[in-house]
């Protein structure tokens, strides 16, 4: 499912227009992004938790040259599914 299909499905379930649904989805994604940038997590009971986790710097190998390189520390978004979502998918 892509963004357009998601918006259409959400609009059908809520009875909202596609335009309003698109604005709602954009507001949701922007809010989650801003919250993660501030170092906080977003928890939706029954659905899951969005969180930003730091990955430590580490040594890697350039596959083309075989040369060892240092990969810097990064922060990556993560999602942990909630109990209800896991149960709906059959764990």
The predicted-structure confidence for 51-78, as pLDDT tens digits, reads as follows 999 999 999 999 999 999 999 999 999 9
Confirm if 82 and 44 have CB atoms less than 8 A apart: yes
Cα atoms found within 13 Å of the Cα of residue 34, Cβ hemisphere only? 6
Architecture of domain 41-91: Irregular (4.10)
Full-model pTM: 0.78
**Dist CA 82 CA 87 (whole Å):** 9
Cβ pair 32, 51 in contact under 8 A: no
Parse the chain into domains and list their residue ranges.
1-40, 41-91
Asked whether the predicted pLDDT for residue 91 surpasses 70, the reply is: no
pLDDT of 25 above 80: yes
pLDDT digits (tens, 9 = 90+) for 28-55: 999 999 999 999 999 999 999 999 999 9
Q: Which string of b and e fits 32-51 if b means at least 16 CB within 10 Å?
A: beeebeeeeebeeeeebebb
What is the per-residue pLDDT for 90?
87
The per-residue pLDDT for range 77-89, each reduced to its tens digit, is 999 999 999 999 9
Checking if the pLDDT of 7 tops 70, the result is yes
Do 10 and 18 form a contact (C-beta atoms < 8 A)? no
């Amino acid at each position: 499912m892509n963004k357009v299909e998601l918006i259409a499905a959400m609009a059908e379930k809520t009875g909202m227009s596609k335009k309003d649904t698109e604005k709602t989805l954009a507001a949701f994604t922007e809010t989650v992004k801003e919250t993660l940038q501030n170092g906080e997590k977003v928890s939706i009971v029954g659905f899951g938790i969005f969180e930003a986790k730091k990955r430590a710097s580490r040594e890697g190998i350039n596959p083309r040259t075989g040369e060892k390189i240092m990969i810097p520390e990064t922060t990556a978004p993560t999602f942990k599914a909630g109990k209800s979502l896991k149960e709906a998918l059959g764990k």
